Amino acid sequence: MLRMKFAAAVAASLLVASIGTATAAETAGPDDTARFLAGMPPSSGSPLVPLTRDRAWQQHAHSFDSAFANVDRPQLSRIRAWSSATLHAPRSAVFYMFSGPDFLYANAFFPNASTYVLSGLEPVGQVPELTALPRGSIAYALATVERSLSSVLALSFFITRDMRVQLVGGRVNGTLPILYVFLARAGKTIHAVEFVKLDEQGAEHPAAERGIRSLAPGVKIVFAGSDGREQTLYYFSTNLDNDGVRRSGFLQFCEKFGPGDSFVKSASYLLHSGGFSSARRFLLEHSALVLQDDSGVPVSQFDKDKWRLRPFGHYAGPIPIFARFYQPRLSDLFRRGRPSPIDFGVGYRWRPHESNLLLAERESAKTGDQR
Protein backbone atom coordinates (compact mmCIF):
# COMPACT_ATOMS: atom_id res chain seq x y z
CA MET A 1 0.00 0.00 0.00
CA LEU A 2 2.80 2.41 0.90
CA ARG A 3 4.55 1.53 -2.35
CA MET A 4 1.38 2.33 -4.28
CA LYS A 5 1.00 5.68 -2.52
CA PHE A 6 4.65 6.49 -3.15
CA ALA A 7 4.33 5.58 -6.82
CA ALA A 8 1.21 7.73 -7.12
CA ALA A 9 2.98 10.65 -5.47
CA VAL A 10 5.93 10.31 -7.84
CA ALA A 11 3.60 10.16 -10.83
CA ALA A 12 1.74 13.22 -9.62
CA SER A 13 4.96 15.16 -9.12
CA LEU A 14 6.14 14.19 -12.58
CA LEU A 15 2.81 15.30 -14.02
CA VAL A 16 3.07 18.67 -12.26
CA ALA A 17 6.62 19.05 -13.50
CA SER A 18 5.62 18.19 -17.04
CA ILE A 19 2.75 20.68 -16.92
CA GLY A 20 5.11 23.37 -15.63
CA THR A 21 7.60 22.58 -18.39
CA ALA A 22 4.89 22.70 -21.03
CA THR A 23 3.61 26.02 -19.70
CA ALA A 24 7.11 27.48 -19.72
CA ALA A 25 7.67 26.15 -23.23
CA GLU A 26 4.49 27.84 -24.41
CA THR A 27 5.47 31.28 -23.16
CA ALA A 28 6.10 33.66 -26.04
CA GLY A 29 9.12 35.93 -25.82
CA PRO A 30 8.84 39.70 -26.25
CA ASP A 31 10.14 39.65 -29.82
CA ASP A 32 7.54 37.14 -30.99
CA THR A 33 4.88 39.05 -29.07
CA ALA A 34 5.93 42.28 -30.77
CA ARG A 35 5.83 40.68 -34.20
CA PHE A 36 2.40 39.21 -33.53
CA LEU A 37 0.98 42.58 -32.43
CA ALA A 38 2.61 44.21 -35.46
CA GLY A 39 0.89 41.81 -37.82
CA MET A 40 4.13 40.02 -38.67
CA PRO A 41 4.66 36.26 -38.43
CA PRO A 42 6.38 35.18 -35.18
CA SER A 43 9.24 32.68 -35.30
CA SER A 44 8.34 29.22 -36.54
CA GLY A 45 8.53 27.60 -33.11
CA SER A 46 6.56 30.26 -31.29
CA PRO A 47 3.39 29.29 -29.37
CA LEU A 48 1.78 32.29 -31.07
CA VAL A 49 1.86 30.60 -34.49
CA PRO A 50 -1.56 28.91 -34.04
CA LEU A 51 -3.10 32.30 -33.25
CA THR A 52 -1.98 33.64 -36.61
CA ARG A 53 -4.49 31.31 -38.24
CA ASP A 54 -7.35 33.30 -36.77
CA ARG A 55 -9.15 35.52 -39.24
CA ALA A 56 -8.91 38.49 -36.87
CA TRP A 57 -5.09 38.35 -36.86
CA GLN A 58 -4.90 37.84 -40.62
CA GLN A 59 -7.08 40.90 -41.20
CA HIS A 60 -4.94 42.81 -38.71
CA ALA A 61 -1.76 41.78 -40.54
CA HIS A 62 -3.19 42.86 -43.88
CA SER A 63 -4.29 46.20 -42.43
CA PHE A 64 -0.87 46.93 -40.92
CA ASP A 65 1.02 45.79 -44.03
CA SER A 66 -0.94 48.35 -46.00
CA ALA A 67 -0.79 51.12 -43.36
CA PHE A 68 2.96 50.89 -42.78
CA ALA A 69 3.71 50.64 -46.50
CA ASN A 70 1.66 53.79 -47.04
CA VAL A 71 3.54 55.70 -44.35
CA ASP A 72 7.00 54.42 -45.30
CA ARG A 73 7.07 55.24 -49.00
CA PRO A 74 6.01 58.90 -48.93
CA GLN A 75 7.12 59.68 -45.40
CA LEU A 76 9.58 57.61 -43.36
CA SER A 77 11.90 56.69 -46.23
CA ARG A 78 12.19 60.39 -47.10
CA ILE A 79 12.88 61.29 -43.48
CA ARG A 80 15.65 58.70 -43.33
CA ALA A 81 17.19 60.12 -46.50
CA TRP A 82 16.95 63.68 -45.14
CA SER A 83 18.49 62.64 -41.83
CA SER A 84 21.38 60.85 -43.52
CA ALA A 85 22.13 63.92 -45.64
CA THR A 86 21.66 66.52 -42.89
CA LEU A 87 22.52 65.14 -39.44
CA HIS A 88 26.21 64.43 -39.83
CA ALA A 89 27.47 63.98 -36.26
CA PRO A 90 24.68 62.47 -34.16
CA ARG A 91 25.24 61.89 -30.46
CA SER A 92 24.70 58.52 -28.82
CA ALA A 93 21.60 59.57 -26.83
CA VAL A 94 18.33 61.02 -28.10
CA PHE A 95 15.94 62.84 -25.76
CA TYR A 96 12.38 62.95 -27.08
CA MET A 97 10.13 64.70 -24.58
CA PHE A 98 6.34 64.83 -24.97
CA SER A 99 6.73 61.88 -27.33
CA GLY A 100 4.28 59.35 -25.99
CA PRO A 101 5.22 56.00 -27.57
CA ASP A 102 6.45 57.58 -30.84
CA PHE A 103 9.53 55.47 -31.50
CA LEU A 104 8.48 55.47 -35.16
CA TYR A 105 9.70 59.02 -35.85
CA ALA A 106 12.54 58.94 -33.33
CA ASN A 107 14.02 56.01 -35.22
CA ALA A 108 13.40 57.57 -38.64
CA PHE A 109 15.24 60.80 -37.75
CA PHE A 110 17.88 59.24 -35.47
CA PRO A 111 18.35 55.61 -36.56
CA ASN A 112 21.82 55.11 -35.09
CA ALA A 113 21.35 56.30 -31.51
CA SER A 114 22.58 53.99 -28.80
CA THR A 115 19.92 55.16 -26.33
CA TYR A 116 16.48 56.67 -26.85
CA VAL A 117 14.74 58.33 -23.90
CA LEU A 118 11.04 58.92 -24.58
CA SER A 119 8.55 60.40 -22.14
CA GLY A 120 4.92 61.42 -21.82
CA LEU A 121 1.85 61.23 -19.63
CA GLU A 122 0.61 58.00 -21.20
CA PRO A 123 0.89 54.93 -18.93
CA VAL A 124 3.53 52.27 -19.57
CA GLY A 125 0.90 49.54 -19.57
CA GLN A 126 1.45 45.87 -20.15
CA VAL A 127 1.36 43.02 -22.65
CA PRO A 128 0.39 39.83 -20.81
CA GLU A 129 1.06 36.35 -22.16
CA LEU A 130 -1.16 36.33 -25.25
CA THR A 131 -1.60 32.56 -25.34
CA ALA A 132 -3.32 32.74 -21.94
CA LEU A 133 -5.95 35.24 -23.12
CA PRO A 134 -9.38 34.32 -24.48
CA ARG A 135 -9.48 34.56 -28.26
CA GLY A 136 -12.01 37.39 -28.05
CA SER A 137 -9.60 39.39 -25.90
CA ILE A 138 -6.86 39.05 -28.51
CA ALA A 139 -9.11 40.29 -31.30
CA TYR A 140 -10.10 43.25 -29.13
CA ALA A 141 -6.44 43.99 -28.35
CA LEU A 142 -5.49 43.97 -32.03
CA ALA A 143 -8.35 46.33 -32.86
CA THR A 144 -7.33 48.66 -30.01
CA VAL A 145 -3.74 48.79 -31.25
CA GLU A 146 -4.97 49.66 -34.74
CA ARG A 147 -7.14 52.48 -33.41
CA SER A 148 -4.30 53.80 -31.25
CA LEU A 149 -1.99 54.06 -34.25
CA SER A 150 -4.45 55.49 -36.74
CA SER A 151 -3.56 59.15 -36.13
CA VAL A 152 0.23 58.82 -36.04
CA LEU A 153 0.24 56.76 -39.23
CA ALA A 154 -2.01 59.24 -41.03
CA LEU A 155 -0.95 62.57 -39.49
CA SER A 156 2.55 61.95 -38.02
CA PHE A 157 1.43 62.61 -34.42
CA PHE A 158 -0.72 61.05 -31.71
CA ILE A 159 -3.91 62.80 -30.67
CA THR A 160 -3.43 62.95 -26.90
CA ARG A 161 -7.07 62.94 -25.84
CA ASP A 162 -7.75 59.86 -27.98
CA MET A 163 -4.75 58.00 -26.61
CA ARG A 164 -5.87 58.54 -23.04
CA VAL A 165 -9.00 56.58 -23.85
CA GLN A 166 -7.55 54.00 -26.21
CA LEU A 167 -4.51 53.00 -24.14
CA VAL A 168 -6.25 52.22 -20.85
CA GLY A 169 -8.84 49.60 -21.81
CA GLY A 170 -8.38 45.86 -22.14
CA ARG A 171 -5.68 43.52 -20.94
CA VAL A 172 -3.19 44.69 -23.54
CA ASN A 173 -2.83 48.38 -22.73
CA GLY A 174 -0.61 51.43 -22.36
CA THR A 175 2.34 52.45 -24.50
CA LEU A 176 4.17 49.11 -24.39
CA PRO A 177 2.18 47.38 -27.15
CA ILE A 178 2.65 50.47 -29.35
CA LEU A 179 6.40 50.43 -28.75
CA TYR A 180 6.41 46.73 -29.60
CA VAL A 181 4.66 47.38 -32.91
CA PHE A 182 7.02 50.21 -33.90
CA LEU A 183 10.12 48.18 -33.02
CA ALA A 184 8.95 45.16 -34.99
CA ARG A 185 7.89 47.22 -38.01
CA ALA A 186 11.26 49.01 -37.93
CA GLY A 187 12.97 45.65 -38.37
CA LYS A 188 14.27 45.45 -34.80
CA THR A 189 14.72 42.29 -32.74
CA ILE A 190 13.84 42.69 -29.07
CA HIS A 191 16.35 41.09 -26.73
CA ALA A 192 15.07 42.09 -23.28
CA VAL A 193 12.27 44.04 -21.64
CA GLU A 194 12.39 45.31 -18.05
CA PHE A 195 9.97 47.46 -16.08
CA VAL A 196 11.89 50.16 -14.21
CA LYS A 197 11.34 53.28 -12.13
CA LEU A 198 13.35 56.34 -11.14
CA ASP A 199 13.96 57.71 -7.68
CA GLU A 200 14.14 61.45 -6.99
CA GLN A 201 17.87 61.53 -7.76
CA GLY A 202 17.33 59.95 -11.19
CA ALA A 203 18.71 56.53 -10.30
CA GLU A 204 17.16 53.61 -12.14
CA HIS A 205 15.60 50.74 -10.14
CA PRO A 206 13.63 47.60 -11.00
CA ALA A 207 9.92 48.38 -10.88
CA ALA A 208 9.33 45.67 -8.28
CA GLU A 209 11.91 47.05 -5.84
CA ARG A 210 10.19 48.05 -2.62
CA GLY A 211 10.66 51.17 -0.54
CA ILE A 212 11.01 53.57 -3.47
CA ARG A 213 8.20 55.93 -4.33
CA SER A 214 8.51 56.91 -7.96
CA LEU A 215 6.87 59.56 -10.10
CA ALA A 216 8.55 58.15 -13.20
CA PRO A 217 7.64 54.51 -13.85
CA GLY A 218 9.04 53.23 -17.10
CA VAL A 219 10.13 50.40 -19.33
CA LYS A 220 13.57 49.57 -20.71
CA ILE A 221 13.77 47.68 -23.99
CA VAL A 222 17.04 46.35 -25.38
CA PHE A 223 16.91 45.58 -29.08
CA ALA A 224 19.06 45.30 -32.18
CA GLY A 225 18.70 46.04 -35.86
CA SER A 226 19.92 44.02 -38.81
CA ASP A 227 23.55 44.86 -37.98
CA GLY A 228 23.25 43.19 -34.58
CA ARG A 229 24.29 46.29 -32.63
CA GLU A 230 22.36 46.56 -29.38
CA GLN A 231 20.39 49.74 -28.70
CA THR A 232 18.24 50.73 -25.73
CA LEU A 233 14.85 52.39 -25.61
CA TYR A 234 13.46 53.92 -22.41
CA TYR A 235 9.94 55.18 -22.03
CA PHE A 236 8.90 56.97 -18.82
CA SER A 237 5.37 57.91 -17.87
CA THR A 238 5.92 61.20 -16.07
CA ASN A 239 4.75 64.79 -15.87
CA LEU A 240 7.26 67.16 -17.46
CA ASP A 241 5.95 70.36 -15.92
CA ASN A 242 8.18 72.16 -13.41
CA ASP A 243 6.69 70.51 -10.35
CA GLY A 244 6.74 67.07 -11.95
CA VAL A 245 10.38 67.09 -13.06
CA ARG A 246 11.47 68.62 -9.76
CA ARG A 247 10.25 65.53 -7.91
CA SER A 248 10.56 62.73 -10.47
CA GLY A 249 14.32 62.58 -11.06
CA PHE A 250 13.69 62.34 -14.81
CA LEU A 251 15.97 65.20 -15.85
CA GLN A 252 18.75 63.93 -13.56
CA PHE A 253 18.43 60.55 -15.27
CA CYS A 254 18.79 62.19 -18.69
CA GLU A 255 21.84 64.18 -17.55
CA LYS A 256 23.77 60.95 -17.05
CA PHE A 257 23.94 60.41 -20.80
CA GLY A 258 25.85 63.64 -21.34
CA PRO A 259 25.02 66.03 -24.17
CA GLY A 260 22.56 64.36 -26.51
CA ASP A 261 20.41 65.11 -29.52
CA SER A 262 16.92 66.36 -28.68
CA PHE A 263 13.80 65.96 -30.78
CA VAL A 264 10.49 67.77 -30.26
CA LYS A 265 7.38 67.69 -32.41
CA SER A 266 3.64 68.07 -31.91
CA ALA A 267 4.28 69.07 -28.28
CA SER A 268 1.19 71.28 -27.80
CA TYR A 269 3.53 74.29 -27.47
CA LEU A 270 4.09 73.38 -23.81
CA LEU A 271 7.72 74.53 -24.01
CA HIS A 272 6.40 78.05 -24.69
CA SER A 273 4.92 78.08 -21.17
CA GLY A 274 6.60 79.19 -17.97
CA GLY A 275 5.23 76.05 -16.36
CA PHE A 276 7.68 73.96 -18.43
CA SER A 277 10.75 76.17 -18.04
CA SER A 278 12.78 73.37 -16.39
CA ALA A 279 12.35 71.02 -19.35
CA ARG A 280 13.09 73.90 -21.74
CA ARG A 281 16.24 74.83 -19.82
CA PHE A 282 17.39 71.21 -19.85
CA LEU A 283 17.07 71.01 -23.63
CA LEU A 284 19.05 74.22 -24.08
CA GLU A 285 21.78 73.23 -21.63
CA HIS A 286 22.16 69.52 -22.36
CA SER A 287 21.64 69.25 -26.11
CA ALA A 288 24.31 69.32 -28.77
CA LEU A 289 21.54 69.47 -31.34
CA VAL A 290 17.82 70.25 -31.16
CA LEU A 291 15.60 69.18 -34.03
CA GLN A 292 12.04 70.44 -33.68
CA ASP A 293 8.95 71.80 -35.30
CA ASP A 294 7.57 75.15 -34.17
CA SER A 295 5.85 73.56 -31.14
CA GLY A 296 9.26 73.08 -29.49
CA VAL A 297 11.54 75.59 -27.78
CA PRO A 298 10.64 79.15 -28.90
CA VAL A 299 13.23 80.44 -31.33
CA SER A 300 13.71 83.50 -29.12
CA GLN A 301 15.24 81.24 -26.43
CA PHE A 302 18.22 80.22 -28.59
CA ASP A 303 21.21 82.47 -27.92
CA LYS A 304 22.51 83.45 -31.37
CA ASP A 305 26.09 83.37 -30.07
CA LYS A 306 25.74 79.74 -28.98
CA TRP A 307 23.47 78.20 -31.60
CA ARG A 308 23.45 77.93 -35.35
CA LEU A 309 19.84 77.86 -36.57
CA ARG A 310 18.89 76.25 -39.88
CA PRO A 311 15.26 76.36 -41.06
CA PHE A 312 13.74 73.69 -43.28
CA GLY A 313 10.39 73.61 -45.02
CA HIS A 314 7.76 76.29 -44.66
CA TYR A 315 6.53 78.13 -41.56
CA ALA A 316 2.84 78.91 -41.97
CA GLY A 317 2.24 79.53 -38.28
CA PRO A 318 0.43 77.23 -35.85
CA ILE A 319 -2.85 75.54 -36.69
CA PRO A 320 -5.88 77.54 -35.48
CA ILE A 321 -6.23 75.84 -32.09
CA PHE A 322 -2.68 77.02 -31.22
CA ALA A 323 -2.80 80.36 -33.07
CA ARG A 324 -1.62 82.32 -30.00
CA PHE A 325 1.79 80.69 -30.29
CA TYR A 326 2.68 82.36 -33.57
CA GLN A 327 6.36 83.38 -33.56
CA PRO A 328 7.27 86.54 -35.48
CA ARG A 329 11.00 85.81 -35.00
CA LEU A 330 10.59 82.35 -36.45
CA SER A 331 8.67 83.77 -39.38
CA ASP A 332 11.49 86.23 -39.96
CA LEU A 333 14.07 83.46 -39.76
CA PHE A 334 12.25 81.46 -42.41
CA ARG A 335 11.87 84.54 -44.59
CA ARG A 336 15.55 85.54 -44.37
CA GLY A 337 17.19 82.15 -43.83
CA ARG A 338 16.53 80.63 -47.26
CA PRO A 339 15.09 77.41 -45.85
CA SER A 340 15.79 74.19 -47.70
CA PRO A 341 12.63 72.37 -48.75
CA ILE A 342 11.56 69.09 -47.17
CA ASP A 343 9.52 66.54 -49.09
CA PHE A 344 7.75 64.96 -46.12
CA GLY A 345 5.20 66.09 -43.56
CA VAL A 346 5.80 66.36 -39.85
CA GLY A 347 4.01 67.88 -36.86
CA TYR A 348 0.64 69.57 -36.77
CA ARG A 349 1.18 70.96 -40.27
CA TRP A 350 1.47 67.39 -41.45
CA ARG A 351 0.91 67.84 -45.18
CA PRO A 352 4.05 67.80 -47.35
CA HIS A 353 5.27 71.28 -48.31
CA GLU A 354 3.42 72.79 -45.31
CA SER A 355 5.67 71.43 -42.56
CA ASN A 356 8.55 73.15 -40.81
CA LEU A 357 11.66 71.97 -39.01
CA LEU A 358 14.28 73.95 -37.16
CA LEU A 359 17.72 72.43 -36.72
CA ALA A 360 19.60 74.12 -33.88
CA GLU A 361 23.25 73.09 -33.53
CA ARG A 362 25.35 74.23 -30.60
CA GLU A 363 28.43 76.01 -31.89
CA SER A 364 30.81 74.27 -29.47
CA ALA A 365 29.40 70.85 -30.38
CA LYS A 366 30.31 71.19 -34.05
CA THR A 367 34.04 71.26 -33.37
CA GLY A 368 34.14 69.42 -30.04
CA ASP A 369 34.07 65.79 -29.03
CA GLN A 370 31.31 63.87 -30.83
CA ARG A 371 30.28 61.13 -28.43
Query: What are the pLDDT tens digits along the chain (371 aa)?
Result: 434 433 444 333 333 333 333 344 478 999 999 999 999 999 999 999 999 999 999 999 999 999 999 889 889 999 999 999 999 888 999 999 999 999 999 999 999 999 999 999 999 999 999 999 887 789 988 988 888 887 767 665 555 555 555 566 678 888 999 999 999 999 999 999 999 999 999 999 999 999 999 999 999 999 999 999 999 999 999 999 999 999 999 999 999 999 999 999 999 999 999 999 999 999 999 999 999 999 999 999 999 999 999 999 999 999 999 999 999 999 999 999 899 999 999 999 988 889 999 999 998 755 444 43
Closest CA to 244 of 272, 269, 215, 264: 215
Question: Residue 136's pLDDT is what?
Answer: 79
Question: How many other CB atoms sit within 10 Å of the CB of residue 231?
Answer: 20
Domain assignment present for residue 1? The answer is: no
Domain assignment present for residue 12? The answer is: no
Closest CA to 238 of 126, 97, 106, 94: 97
**Rounded CA gap, 308 and 35, in Å?**
41
How many separate domains does the chain show? 1
Integer CA distances (angstroms), 338 to 281, 308, 309, 315, in order: 28, 14, 12, 12
* Full domain range(s) for residue 54: 28-367
Identify the DSSP state of 290: E
Question: Residue 158's pLDDT is what?
Answer: 58
Domain assignment present for residue 14? The answer is: no
Domain assignment present for residue 3? The answer is: no
Identify the DSSP state of 160: H
How many C-alpha atoms does 55 have within 13 Å on its Cβ side?
0
**Rounded CA gap, 304 and 361, in Å?**
11
H/E stretch holding 93 reads strand 93-96
Q: Phi, psi (5° rounding) for residue 334?
A: -70, -35
DSSP 137-151: HHHHHHHHHHHHHHH
Question: Residue 153's pLDDT is what?
Answer: 73
**Rounded CA gap, 277 and 171, in Å?**
37
| SS3 of residue 288 by DSSP | strand
Domain assignment present for residue 17? The answer is: no
How many residues comprise the chain? 371
Helix-then-strand count for the chain, H and E = 13, 10
Question: Residue 365's pLDDT is what?
Answer: 57
**Rounded CA gap, 137 and 122, in Å?**
22
Question: Residue 210's pLDDT is what?
Answer: 95
Domain assignment present for residue 171? The answer is: yes
**Rounded CA gap, 371 and 108, in Å?**
20
Domain assignment present for residue 95? The answer is: yes
Question: Residue 315's pLDDT is what?
Answer: 97
Q: Phi, psi (5° rounding) for residue 200?
A: -70, -20
Question: Residue 260's pLDDT is what?
Answer: 97
Integer CA distances (angstroms), 39 to 31, 103, 125, 209, 268, in order: 12, 17, 20, 34, 31
Contact 121, 174 (CB under 8 A): no
Domain assignment present for residue 22? The answer is: no
Contact 278, 308 (CB under 8 A): no
φ/ψ region of 339 (left if φ > 0, alpha if ψ in -120 to 50, else beta) reads beta
